[in-house]
């Protein structure tokens, strides 16, 4: 049942990430959790950044899969996106944080995730439920809004005492409502 060593190292690193952020992902602790020495990971990853990148790549693949399930509507996809981000803050920050490489597995996974959303937006447009226009650009706006809403919510930049309605979910819902209003009948 145990996957190959590379996968088990990614598993261990992801769990450490969830608990304490990127700083808690030390190669010594990763090795200990996987039952190997502290520099055995260097046989599978170029360095620590490469290991973190492998986590992000896996998260993007899973995100694309979750987009595929459900009714295939943009609204549901973005809500799934928010649930994932708020449930796994560190994975979210890592996945959509800055990269280094150009044409890595990460870039391809990100492209696939976006493509699923773009198709859903295009369908919605044809049904007259969203404004016309380039679906790639509209999907980018949706992703940007959800990303920012989740980021600000996690950082405590949205909430203030007595304003529980300022949630990431509500902000994204507002955006969809505005888009619906902006769609000619």
Window of 5-13, 27-35, 66-74, 88-96 that interacts with a second copy by CB under 8 A: 88-96
Binding segment for a second copy (CB under 8 A), chosen from 12-20, 33-41, 72-80, 174-182, is 174-182
Smallest separation, CB 2 to a second copy (Å): 33
Binding partner of residue 109 among a second copy, DNA, none, CB cut-off 5 to 8 Å per kind: none
Q: What is the CA radius of gyration of the chain?
A: 19
The verdict on 136 binding a second copy (CB under 8 A) reads yes
Residue closer to DNA (CB basis): 5 or 112: 5
User: Which structure tokens are listed for 58?
Assistant: 């896996």
Residue choice 31, 74, 89, 135 for contact with a second copy (CB under 8 A): 89
């Amino acid at each position: 049942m145990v996957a190959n060593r590379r996968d088990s190292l990614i598993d261990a690193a992801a769990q450490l990430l969830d608990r304490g952020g990127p700083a808690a992902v030390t190669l010594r602790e990763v090795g200990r959790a996987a039952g190997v020495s502290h520099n055995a990971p260097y046989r599978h990853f170029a360095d620590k950044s490469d290991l973190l990148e492998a986590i992000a790549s896996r998260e993007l693949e899973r995100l694309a899969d979750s987009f595929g399930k459900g009714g295939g509507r943009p609204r549901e996809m973005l809500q799934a996106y928010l649930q994932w981000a708020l449930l796994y803050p560190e994975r979210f920050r890592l996945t959509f944080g800055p990269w280094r490489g150009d044409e890595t597995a990460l870039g391809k996974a990100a492209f696939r995730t976006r493509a699923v959303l773009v198709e859903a937006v295009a369908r919605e447009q044809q049904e007259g439920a969203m404004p016309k226009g380039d679906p790639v650009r509209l999907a980018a706006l949706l992703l940007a809004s959800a990303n920012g809403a989740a980021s600000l919510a996690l950082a405590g930049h949205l909430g203030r005492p007595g304003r529980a309605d300022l949630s990431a979910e509500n902000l994204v819902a507002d955006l969809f409502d505005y888009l619906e209003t902006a769609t000619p009948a």
